[in-house]
Every structure is written in structure tokens, then in C-alpha cells.
């Protein structure tokens, strides 16, 4: 068994968190690949190292002294070093960086130092070999990840050292310069490391016990999802659930490596396990994996007798495409269909779309309704249970929620209903309380 464990900013925010990480690593010798973010916030009013470094670069750009910020950074790192009785020369390293600070310092190099310093401290504390991301995460000239070279370098580092620690978030361009990924990019580094080494599991350690079944701002204390497939997760993410970014999952997803989201502060919680395919024989009664939704959609309903013979739907889709109006859902009747599109994404193109629809399709009627929300119940197990949608619609009806559109994907992974914006939260609560518990 081989595990790659990535620890986010809050998991490495200070000496106390470092101790928790060490306990986790020592509890399981198969955790041989570790990736860390830069030290994050220790409390709500604290600052992430990465944010301080971005601020520092802004000061440089405007010729304002960043002495104070560098001092804060040095203090935070030195505190960790001293409390954990490490030898790493924080002062010397920060001093050396300071000496190089001028307008020519690239923002990428400067902000990458948050991960670099944090990783140096953590590597010493865990007794793992520090492998600089500049030596194992490679970008091509086009700025895209060079996966082959990256895979080779990480696998070689693991083979050489046995236990490695890599700073997240950055890598090296062919020019030798450092390039950072998008914010939160350490998740990508972790996934790359897991994929490169053929790990059995990619553990993503954070400060929540997994992905929640519904938005906690709407549902009181929702349960975490125990197991979810990558396909379900994609549906939930698309419908607005706050889960890991698709790009950061890709390297492990394509290799079929399981991803386990865990809580550094509650290491005994199993967290959420994301897998390629789930065998659900003993998974209990719950058949909805999660519920997510988004507000502010527009429904365009077109009515035309004999619309099939007239290729009306096809024409309408071409029109939507022409004006870059994304079609999220289609519901189809004999003489009518409804296209659901994000109101903001469509914007003023709505008027062009309507004019074109009238001209091209010559419909009997066109209706537009705004302020629609889409709510999706996602669950791989729904397809094997008859009567789910009937019960779902009844529960919504009993709670006074008027369903405006219904759509079920061909893979039966999600049932999505369109409701009035004002019924958005009620619909989510009804679905959660009635079906997710």
C-alpha cells in the first residue's frame, strides 16, 4: 500500500498543526509521499503566507517597503522552527530572499516561497527527504504541465529517497523560472505526486471531515458524504457544490486512484472517499449521495405544432449557440420544448435569441420566465430504485414547491428540478430531509 498525503494551509498553519500532521504520518507508514501548502490562517483574523507574499510583491511594484511583511513571515516561520526544536535556518533564508527583493523579482518566485519554507520545515520535522517542486514539477514552454517529465522526476525521487516531501503550488518552466499554479494549486501537486508514483490512495487533508451532502448554510448540520464516484462529484460540482476543482482531481481520476478527503483536526473521521466505481452492496439504504443547486436561470419555452417535422428544436439550439447562450437543460413535449439557460451567462443575448427564434422558428408562442433555480439530487443508486422521482416530486409538492422543469440525465445519475428562486432553499431542505437521511 502506498499513499500520497497532501496537507492544506490550515493543516500546517503553526506548530500545533505540524504536530497533528506528524501523528497522522506516523500512524500509517504507507504515507510515503507528502505535499504541503504554505502555512495558512491560525485563526479567522490571521493571514496566509501566500497572501502576505502577494501583498509583498504589490508593495515592491509600487516601491513601498515590504520590511514589515517580511518580518511577519520570518516570525511565523521562526516560531514553528523554535517550538518544534528544528535546525532550519529560517532567519538566514528569509534574509537571503530579502536581499534579492527588487522589482525584477517575479511574483511567481516570490509567492512560491510560502510553500518552499513550509515544506523545508515539515521535511525536517518528519524526517522526509525534501524534494523541491522546481526539480520535479515541470511546465512546458506553453505553460502547461509536462506530465511525462513530472511523472518521471517524482517517481525517481521516491525510488531514491523512499519517503519524500514536496512543496505544493509551483514548478519550473523550461527557462528555469518558477511558475505557480492557480490558487489552491497544491491540490494539483498532490494529485500529480499520487499519479506519478502509482499510489493506491491520494489523501487530501484539510479542515473539514469530507464533502457535505448539502450546503450547511441551507441545511442544518448536513452529514458528510462517505463515498462518491468521480462522475457523481462532477454533477455536484457542476451544480455549485463546493468541492475540489476538477483540474486538481484529473491526474488521480484518470488513473483510477481513490481520493480520500480527510480532516487533520479529526483524524479518526473517515472523511469522503471518491472512487471510480463504487460497489454498493453493503452501503445501507441511502440512495441520494448529495444535493446541490444554483439560482438564477431563465426558461425559454417555445410552442410550435409539428415542431419535429420542422426541426424547430435543432434550429433553436443553433440559435442559442450562435449567441453563446449555454443550454443547461432541455425539456421536451409533443408541441413544445423549454430551454433552460443561466440568466447571467445569457445576459443581453436573450433579446437577440428571442428575435432570432421568432424569425427562424416561426413559433406559435414563445414564453420567457426568469428567477428559476435548479436543484439536483445526485446519486448513483437512484437508477436501481423504482419510484424515486415520484416520491421526490410528491415531497416537493407537499411542501408547496412548484416544479417548473424536470430533467434526468440519460445516465440516471441526477434528477434536476427547476423551481422558483424563492423556493430554492425549501427544495434543498425537503430533498435532504426526505431522502438523504
Region class of 270: left (phi > 0), else alpha (psi between -120 and 50), else beta? alpha
State the minimum distance, in angstroms, from the CB of residue 55 to ligand ASP.
12
Q: Alpha-carbon distance 116 to 132, whole Å?
A: 8
* Residue 385, C-alpha cell as written in the block: 430504485
Residue from 20, 32, 48, 234 binding ligand ASP (CB under 6 A): 48
Residue from 38, 97, 166, 225 binding ligand ASP (CB under 6 A): 38
Structure-derived torsion over alpha carbons of residues 211, 217, 223, 225, reported in degrees to the nearest 10: -20
Residue from 14, 171, 185, 222 binding ligand ASP (CB under 6 A): 185
Q: How many residues lie near ligand ASP (CB under 6 A)?
A: 13
> Judged by CB, which is closer to ligand ASP: 111, or 396?
111
Q: Alpha-carbon distance 346 to 353, whole Å?
A: 9
* Residue 44, C-alpha cell as written in the block: 479567522
* Binding status of residue 401 toward ligand ASP by CB under 6 A: no
User: What does the buried/exposed string (b/e) look like for 229-259 if buried means 16 or more CB atoms within 10 Å of the residue's CB?
Assistant: bbbbbbbbbebebebbeeebbebbbeeebbb
State the minimum distance, in angstroms, from the CB of residue 11 to ligand ASP.
10
Interface of this chain with ligand ASP, residues 68 to 107, rule: CB under 6 A: none
* Binding status of residue 293 toward ligand ASP by CB under 6 A: no
Q: Alpha-carbon distance 233 to 190, whole Å?
A: 18
* Residue 154, C-alpha cell as written in the block: 517524482
* Residue 317, C-alpha cell as written in the block: 439550439
| Contact stretch for ligand ASP (CB under 6 A) within 178-186, 309-317, 351-359, 367-375 | 178-186
Q: Alpha-carbon distance 9 to 53, whole Å?
A: 14
| Contact stretch for ligand ASP (CB under 6 A) within 179-187, 193-201, 403-411, 416-424 | 179-187
State the minimum distance, in angstroms, from the CB of residue 13 to ligand ASP.
11
State the minimum distance, in angstroms, from the CB of residue 39 to ligand ASP.
9
State the minimum distance, in angstroms, from the CB of residue 183 to ligand ASP.
4
> Judged by CB, which is closer to ligand ASP: 190, or 342?
190
Q: Alpha-carbon distance 57 to 163, whole Å?
A: 34
State the minimum distance, in angstroms, from the CB of residue 185 to ligand ASP.
5
* Binding status of residue 186 toward ligand ASP by CB under 6 A: yes
Residue from 10, 37, 209, 312 binding ligand ASP (CB under 6 A): 37
Residue from 9, 271, 342, 418 binding ligand ASP (CB under 6 A): 9
Q: Alpha-carbon distance 140 to 436, whole Å?
A: 45
Binding mask 136-175 for ligand ASP (x = CB under 6 A): --------------------------------xx------
Element (H, E) at 284: none
Residue from 2, 47, 152, 184 binding ligand ASP (CB under 6 A): 184
Q: In what order do the strands lie in the sheet with 3-7?
A: 129-130, 164-167, 31-36, 3-7, 201-206, 258-263, 272-275, 227-229
> Judged by CB, which is closer to ligand ASP: 118, or 301?
118
Structure-derived torsion over alpha carbons of residues 229, 232, 233, 236, reported in degrees to the nearest 10: -160
Q: Taking the chain, what is the end-to-end CA distance rounded to the nearest angstrom?
A: 33
Q: Which residues bind ligand ASP (CB under 6 A)?
A: 9, 37-38, 48, 50, 114, 168-169, 183-187
Amino acid at each position: 500500500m502506498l499513499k500520497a498525503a497532501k496537507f492544506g494551509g490550515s493543516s500546517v498553519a503553526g506548530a500545533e498543526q505540524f504536530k497533528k500532521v506528524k501523528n497522522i504520518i506516523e500512524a500509517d507508514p504507507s504515507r510515503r509521499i507528502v505535499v504541503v501548502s504554505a502555512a495558512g490562517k491560525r485563526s479567522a483574523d490571521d493571514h496566509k503566507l501566500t497572501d502576505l507574499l502577494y501583498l509583498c510583491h504589490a508593495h515592491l511594484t509600487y516601491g513601498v517597503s515590504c520590511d514589515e511583511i517580511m518580518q511577519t513571515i520570518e516570525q511565523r516561520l521562526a516560531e514553528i522552527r523554535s517550538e518544534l526544536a528544528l535546525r532550519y535556518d529560517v532567519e538566514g533564508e528569509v534574509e537571503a530572499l530579502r536581499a534579492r527583493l527588487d522589482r525584477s523579482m517575479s511574483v511567481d518566485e516570490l509567492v512560491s516561497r510560502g510553500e518552499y519554507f513550509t515544506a523545508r520545515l515539515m521535511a525536517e520535522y518528519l524526517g522526509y527527504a525534501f524534494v523541491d517542486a522546481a526539480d520535479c514539477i515541470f511546465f512546458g514552454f506553453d505553460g502547461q504541465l509536462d506530465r511525462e517529465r513530472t511523472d518521471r522526476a517524482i517517481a525517481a525521487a521516491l525510488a531514491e529517497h523512499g519517503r519524500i516531501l514536496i512543496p505544493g503550488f509551483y514548478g519550473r518552466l523550461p527557462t528555469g523560472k518558477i511558475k505557480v499554479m492557480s490558487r489552491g494549486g497544491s491540490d494539483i501537486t498532490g494529485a500529480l505526486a499520487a499519479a506519478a508514483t502509482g499510489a493506491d490512495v491520494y489523501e487530501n487533508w484539510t479542515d473539514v471531515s469530507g464533502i457535505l451532502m448539502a450546503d450547511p448554510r441551507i441545511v442544518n448540520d448536513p452529514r458528510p458524504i462517505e463515498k462518491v464516484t468521480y462522475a457523481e462529484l462532477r454533477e455536484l460540482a457542476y451544480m455549485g457544490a463546493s468541492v475540489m476543482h476538477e483540474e486538481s482531481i484529473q491526474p488521480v481520476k484518470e488513473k483510477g486512484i481513490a481520493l480520500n478527503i480527510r480532516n487533520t483536526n479529526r483524524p479518526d473521521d473517515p472523511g469522503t472517499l471518491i472512487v471510480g466505481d463504487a460497489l454498493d452492496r453493503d452501503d445501507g439504504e441511502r440512495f441520494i449521495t448529495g444535493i446541490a443547486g444554483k439560482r438564477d436561470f431563465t426558461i425559454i419555452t417555445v410552442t410550435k405544432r409539428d415542431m419535429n417535422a420542422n426541426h424547430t428544436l435543432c434550429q433553436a439550439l443553433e440559435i442559442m449557440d450562435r449567441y453563446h447562450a449555454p443550454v443547461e437543460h432541455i425539456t421536451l413535449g409533443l408541441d413544445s420544448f423549454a430551454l433552460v439557460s443561466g440568466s447571467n451567462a445569457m445576459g443581453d443575448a436573450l433579446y437577440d435569441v428571442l428575435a432570432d427564434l421568432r424569425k427562424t422558428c416561426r413559433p406559435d408562442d414563445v414564453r420567457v420566465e426568469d428567477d428559476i433555480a435548479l436543484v439536483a439530487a445526485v446519486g448513483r443508486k437512484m437508477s436501481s430504485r423504482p419510484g424515486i422521482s415520484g416520491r421526490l416530486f410528491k415531497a416537493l409538492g407537499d411542501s408547496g414547491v412548484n416544479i417548473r422543469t424536470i430533467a434526468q440525465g440519460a445516465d440516471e445519475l441526477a434528477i434536476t428540478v427547476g423551481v422558483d428562486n424563492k423556493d430554492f432553499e425549501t427544495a434543498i431542505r425537503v430533498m435532504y430531509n426526505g431522502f438523504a437521511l
